[in-house]
A and B are shown apart, each in its own frame.
Chain A
Amino acid sequence: MSAPPELCGIFSDALAEVLAVSTGAQYHPVSVRPGETLCAVAGMMTLAGQKHGLLLIHASEAAMREVYTLMTGADDVTDADITDTACEIVNMTAGSAKLRLGGSDYAFSLTTPLVIKGDGMSLFAKQRVSVFDAALECAGSLIHIKLVY
């Protein structure tokens, strides 16, 4: 059975909260066309529950760098910092969504966050697997979500 679309809204709300609290900046939902392409930096986590899912939060290097700068107040940003930011954002977003979904059919546990990096990456899922896309924007900087169930 396919996953309910409002599930993506819950993760999107969780991400907006994570970004607002940890960066002090308001990121607002914007509509995006669903697609296979991923941005250059993608934090991902397997959502381990009765129904397994995969959460990806992806953005350009510049957008991720901006999040790091807003979070830590530091301007000198290394590649490792960008990776760490992607990891921590996906971790916190999953943590916040986990609270929102506790007790539901989609309750899950957190697992180790991972990061994949590279230009022009694509994600393909089998038929009947639900893939949702959403995005948040702040001053031209976009952070994308891809949720797979």
Chain B
Amino acid sequence: MKLLIVDDSSAIRKIIKAAADVLHMESIEACDGVEALEKVTESYESIDLVLLDWNMPEMSGYDVLVALKADEKYRHIPVMMVTTEGQKTSIVAAVKAGAGNYLTKPFSVEELESKILECIGGGSV
């Protein structure tokens, strides 16, 4: 299992990486939308889940989501938005654009871990 963690905050990437570690998942990181698409292009065959921040410099997480879902090669990769944008309009927009799950910041590590498990089918660790 491999996660792609996309967030411009190194602290948030660190927290998500710790959750991935405890769930025995590998993780790779990107600190903005452009880098996220580069990482997906490089290793889309091995990425099982993308955790995507919304507000980032260069290219927003929403734009990354739209780009991923528009491409035949990447469409199958599940995406969970992890963002401070917690209002209904954003959630609806993201889910309609293809996000499979949505986690609002701030989140507890327990919440994060259980959401990740939910995204990948709730399998046991």
In the complex they form, whether A and B have CB atoms below 8 Å apart is answered with yes
- A residues near B (Cβ < 8 Å) are 17-18, 21-22, 24, 68, 71-74, 80-81, 84-85, 87-88, 91-92, 94-96, 98-99, 102, 110, 112
- The closest CB in chain A to the CB of B84 belongs to A95
Q: Are B106 and A73 in contact (CB under 8 A)?
A: no
Q: Are A72 and B84 in contact (CB under 8 A)?
A: no
Known: A71-B15, A72-B14, A81-B10. A102 touches B108 (CB 8 A): no
Q: Chain B's interface: helix, strand, loop or mixed, by majority?
A: loop
Known: A91-B84, A92-B84. A21 touches B106 (CB 8 A): yes
- Interface residue from B10, B84, B87, B104 paired with A84 (Cβ < 8 Å): B10
Q: Are A73 and B18 in contact (CB under 8 A)?
A: yes
Q: Are B10 and A92 in contact (CB under 8 A)?
A: no
CB-CB under 8 A from B10, the residues of chain A are: 80-81, 84
- What is the size category of the interface that chain B forms with chain A? 10 to 19
- B residues near A (Cβ < 8 Å) are 9-12, 14-15, 18, 55, 57, 83-87, 104-108
Q: Are A71 and B11 in contact (CB under 8 A)?
A: yes
- Interface residue from B18, B106, B107 paired with A72 (Cβ < 8 Å): B18
Question: 7 A-B pairs, CB-CB below 8 angstroms?
Answer: A18-B106, A21-B107, A80-B10, A88-B12, A95-B86, A96-B84, A110-B55
Q: Chain A's interface: helix, strand, loop or mixed, by majority?
A: helix
Q: Are B86 and A84 in contact (CB under 8 A)?
A: no
CB distance from A94 to the nearest CB of B (A): 7
Q: Are B9 and A95 in contact (CB under 8 A)?
A: no
- The closest CB in chain B to the CB of A83 belongs to B10
